[in-house]
Structure 1
Amino acid sequence: MDTRAVTRAHVLITAQLAIGAAALGACGGYLVAGPAAAVLSGVVTGVGAWGGSILVRRRVFADLGQAERDANVQGYAEGLSQGVLLGIAMYQAAVFPLTGPAGVSGEERLARRTIAYRIAADDGLPHTVRTAAAAALEAIDHGQDRQGAQDAVQALHAAVDEQRCP
């Protein structure tokens, strides 16, 4: 996040609020007691609005910083979940190739298995995705039941979708 842009936006919004408050204060002062009261009321209201906005600036930036950190953590978890799904799907394709038993070499299958396990072991994965990934890897490792492995990968896909769009 570009803090200079956020600071500039906050200053511009603060200025607009202060000018609007000063104009409203001036109109109210003019209606109540005339031109002298309008000037005094406008100045006091504008300075008060400006000062109040300056006092809340720290809270505004703290909230923006926390929102950015939360978005980064959530985005990392979503990306990692998608990576796990892709890695396990690639491993499943190596164990159950569409071209027949001679479609994938043993080295390639082992490489895809290693990658899938490494991605699934990352600490940034949400618990539900990690559990579904472990079940999918177990089903694929047995290598006997194509439908059971497909169901486990579908459950992993559902867990990834649930994590992304609760």
Structure 2
Amino acid sequence: MDIRAVARAHLLITALLALAAAALAAFGGLLLGGPAMAALSGVVTGAGACAGSFLVRRRVFADLRKAEGQASAEGFAEGLSQGVLLGVATYQAAAFPLAGPGSVTVEERAARRTLAYRIAADDGLPHAVRTAAAAALEAIDDGLDDGRARDAVRRLALAVYEQRRHR
């Protein structure tokens, strides 16, 4: 989100609202007291609307920057969670290949393992996802039971889903 574009839109909306308030007040002043009252009420109301909206402007942009930072952090954590899930799933596919033993080289399995561990160790991961990833990696590293590893990866996928759902 471009903050300058938002600032420009806010400025244009402020000007439009102040102009509308001034015109409405001028019309009311014209009906109640004639042209002098119309000019006075239009100027006072327009100036008051501009002053009020500019006083609120700083708070609006502070809240906007805070929300932007929070959304960025949540999006980063969500992306990392998806990356961990993908890394662990590809490591599982290398550890328990469907094509049978020998279809995945030892180097490929080691590379996928290293990548999965590096992504799972990132500090930006939510605790629940990090814990589920550690359990899945441990189950895959044991290498004895494909069903146990599948269940651990399924729990990791659910942890990633829950992390996204609670936003």
TM-score (norm 1): 0.95
1:20 Cα deviation from its structure 2 partner: 1.2
Aligned pairs for 1:2-13 (under 5 A) are 2-13=2-13
The offset of 1:158, in angstroms, is 0.9
Equivalences for 1:110-149 in 2 at 5 Å? Answer: 110-149=110-149
Give 1:74 deviation, angstroms: 0.7
Q: Distance in 1 between matches of 2:145 and 2:29?
A: 82
What is the correspondence of 1:17-166 to structure 2 with a 5 Å cutoff? Answer: 17-166=17-166
* Partners of 2:81 and 2:67 in 1: CA distance: 21
Matched length: 166
Percent identity at matched positions?
70
* Distance (Å, rounded) in 2 between the aligned partners of 1:22 and 1:72: 40
Matched AA of 1:26 = A
| TM-score calculated relative to the size of structure 2 | 0.94
The alpha carbon displacement at 1:41 in A equals 0.8
In structure 1, runs of 5+ residues without a counterpart are: none
For residues 102-142 of structure 1, the C-alpha deviation after alignment (integer angstroms, 9 at most, x for no partner) is: 11111211111111011000000001111111111111111
Q: Measure how far apart 1:67 and its partner are.
A: 1.1
RMSD of the alignment, in Å?
1.2
The CA distance in 1 between the partners of 2:4 and 2:73, in whole Å, is 23
